[in-house]
Amino acid sequence: MNSFNAISVRDLTKAFKLYTSPRELFKEFIGQPPQEFVALDRVSFDVRKGEAVGIMGRNGAGKSTLLRIIAGTLDKTSGNVEVNGRISAILELGTGFRPEYTGRQNVITGGLCLGMTRKEIEKKLASIIEFSELEEFIDRPFKTYSSGMQARLTFATAVHIDPDILIVDEALGVGDAKFQRKCFEKMQQFRRRGCAVLLVSHDMNTVASFCDRAVLLQRGQVLMDDNAADVSRVYYQMLLGNGTAPDAPIMAAIGGEEEVAATPSPQATRTGTQKGAELIAYSLENEEGRLVNTLVSGQKFTVTIRARFDRDIQEPTVGFLVRDVRGVDVFGVDTFGARIPLPPCKSGEVLEFKLPCTMWLAKGTFFLSPSVGCIDDGATLDMHLDALCFSVTTPLRVHDISIVNMAPEFEHLSARVY
Ligand SMILES: Nc1ncnc2c1ncn2[C@@H]1O[C@H](COP(=O)(O)OP(=O)(O)OP(=O)(O)O)[C@@H](O)[C@H]1O
């Protein structure tokens, strides 16, 4: 393995044998193999030292199976996993912890399970308890702890191993916000000293903000391995759509090749009846009429949408929706709602819709979903969810945390001292 890598996974495959009855065991014994379920299918990726990699995917995609094999608690069927350094894995709450033991006793047994020596544990016991903030409860039975308290003790023990590789499977999700913050701070410290972090999470914001890279699994295969923000976005679109990412790009942006267009997402999900009209192009233009994927808060821009009709529509309607990365709808408009009639369209005609707007959102990444509909029968004919990804930058005078730009007029500011 390359010396920069902490983990190297090559063609990793895991097939679970499915025994539907005890007879199947017997059949296997006499040479008839049982049915198999392939949970991981030739998965390959690397994690570099000091890198934080998110593992994403819908329920059953194979994330836990992957982590368990890397952590060494589950056997692989084929392929190769190389690990360079000491692993500490939080695969589920209270790994190696006994419900009837006290918190203190469990730190000792759990620590031993996680690979610490008894001497090491004794040396770190006070620090583990302090990190968990459970001093008051540490001599009570573990089974009386809430799931958040269990998470605290599990995490506190696991991070005191001083691992080279930290593997965390969602366990942090149950701690309260303050404790989660503390855990992420601890994980950042690990990264700074070269520890690799592998984090399974369903939360795209966690992955996008904490991880450098992410691997998206779909039915046991690697669908995407890229920077965390892009993978999170695709994962989010999978969740919004039919659960799988389409194989091929479905959209092209309008415009000249030399110009930068807002990125049409290859993963856009189509909704609507898809009968009567289809969206054929859409784009964003700045005030100079240039195709852009970055808009400046406070400035004007134009949304252009083109739709082709394959039947006569007396009253078409066009609109779009803008969402942020968390999936919150931040703006929506359509000609029907605005009571602006569009001209009737005949089969074979293309309608071009251009709507000048002002960008009042503040800094961030957003997704635009264009749509075309038919007022005659009240249907959405075609809508491409989150099809255009664009970012907004704010002028210096708007604070970074802003969601919207209230356009402060500093030139008219008055300040009086009494
Ligand atoms: N012991 C087992 N025997 C048979 N199938 C199994 C076994 N363990 C896991 N699977 C199957 O393997 C697939 C992957 O499971 P896994 O737990 O890795 O998914 P996951 O991505 O972690 O899901 P989740 O987000 O729900 O935790 C699932 O379809 C699951 O049913």
pLDDT tens-digit readout, 233-279: 788 777 765 444 433 222 333 333 333 445 555 445 788 898 999 99
Ligand 1 pocket list (CB less than 6 A): 16, 37, 39, 57, 59-65
Residue 128 lies in a domain: yes
How many folded domains does the chain comprise? Answer: 2
Domain around 299: 252-393
Residue 45 lies in a domain: yes
| pLDDT(28) > 60 | yes
Report CA(36)–ligand 1 centroid distance (Å).
Answer: 13
3-state secondary structure of 263: strand
Question: In this structure, are 216 and 351 located in the same domain?
Answer: no
pLDDT band per the 50, 70, 90 thresholds, residue 370: very high
Q: Which residues pair with 373 in a beta bridge?
A: 317, 380
Nearest CA to ligand 1 atom 27: 59
Report CA(173)–ligand 1 centroid distance (Å).
Answer: 19
pLDDT score, position 345:
96
| pLDDT(80) > 90 | yes
Query: One-letter amino acid identity for 148?
Result: G
Pairing between β-strand 388-393 and β-strand 263-264 as defined by DSSP bridges: antiparallel
Tens-digit pLDDT profile for residues 154-205: 889 888 888 899 998 876 666 677 787 788 888 888 888 899 999 998 777 7
Residue 417 lies in a domain: no
Percent of the chain beyond pLDDT 70? 89
Residue 156 lies in a domain: yes
Question: In this structure, are 233 and 373 located in the same domain?
Answer: no
Mean pLDDT of 342-356: 96
Question: In this structure, are 178 and 308 located in the same domain?
Answer: no
Among 364, 255, 349, 267, residue whose Cα is nearest residue 302: 255
Tens-digit pLDDT profile for residues 381-392: 999 988 888 888
| pLDDT(379) > 70 | yes
What is the secondary structure of 342-403 as a DSSP string? PPPB-TT-EEEEEEEEE--B-SEEEEEEEEEEETTTTEEEEEEET-EEEEEE--TTS-TT-S
Percent of the chain beyond pLDDT 90? 47
Mean pLDDT of 67-88: 93
Question: In this structure, are 226 and 281 located in the same domain?
Answer: no
Report CA(184)–ligand 1 centroid distance (Å).
Answer: 26
pLDDT band per the 50, 70, 90 thresholds, residue 104: very high
pLDDT score, position 201:
85
Report the residue among 37, 168, 216, 217 best suited for mutation to probe ligand 1: largest number of ligand atoms under 8 A from its CB: 37
Question: In this structure, are 232 and 161 located in the same domain?
Answer: yes
Question: In this structure, are 169 and 261 located in the same domain?
Answer: no
CA 259 to chain centre: 29
Among 184, 243, 191, residue whose Cα is nearest residue 216: 243
pTM of the model: 0.62
Nearest CA to ligand 1 atom 6: 16
Which CATH number characterizes residue 351's domain? 2.70.50.60
Tens-digit pLDDT profile for residues 305-341: 999 999 999 999 999 999 886 667 899 999 999 999 9
Ligand 1 atom at shortest distance from the alpha carbon of 57 = 21
Residue 243 vs residue 97, higher pLDDT: 97
Q: What is the dihedral of CA 248, 251, 256, 260, to 10 degrees?
A: -80
Nearest CA to ligand 1 atom 24: 59
Element (H, E) at 225: strand 221-227
ipTM: 0.97
pLDDT score, position 255:
34
Range with the largest mean pLDDT of 111-120, 311-320, 370-379: 311-320
Report CA(221)–ligand 1 centroid distance (Å).
Answer: 13
Distances (CA, A) of 355 to 32, 56, 119: 66, 37, 70
Question: In this structure, are 308 and 206 located in the same domain?
Answer: no
Report the residue among 14, 16, 43 best suited for mutation to probe ligand 1: largest number of ligand atoms under 8 A from its CB: 16
Tens-digit pLDDT profile for residues 286-308: 999 888 888 999 999 999 999 99
pLDDT-wise least confident of 18-27, 117-126, 406-415: 18-27
Ligand 1 atom at shortest distance from the alpha carbon of 18 = 4
Report CA(24)–ligand 1 centroid distance (Å).
Answer: 21
Q: What is the mean pLDDT of the chain?
A: 85
Report CA(140)–ligand 1 centroid distance (Å).
Answer: 33
Question: In this structure, are 69 and 33 located in the same domain?
Answer: yes
Report CA(45)–ligand 1 centroid distance (Å).
Answer: 20
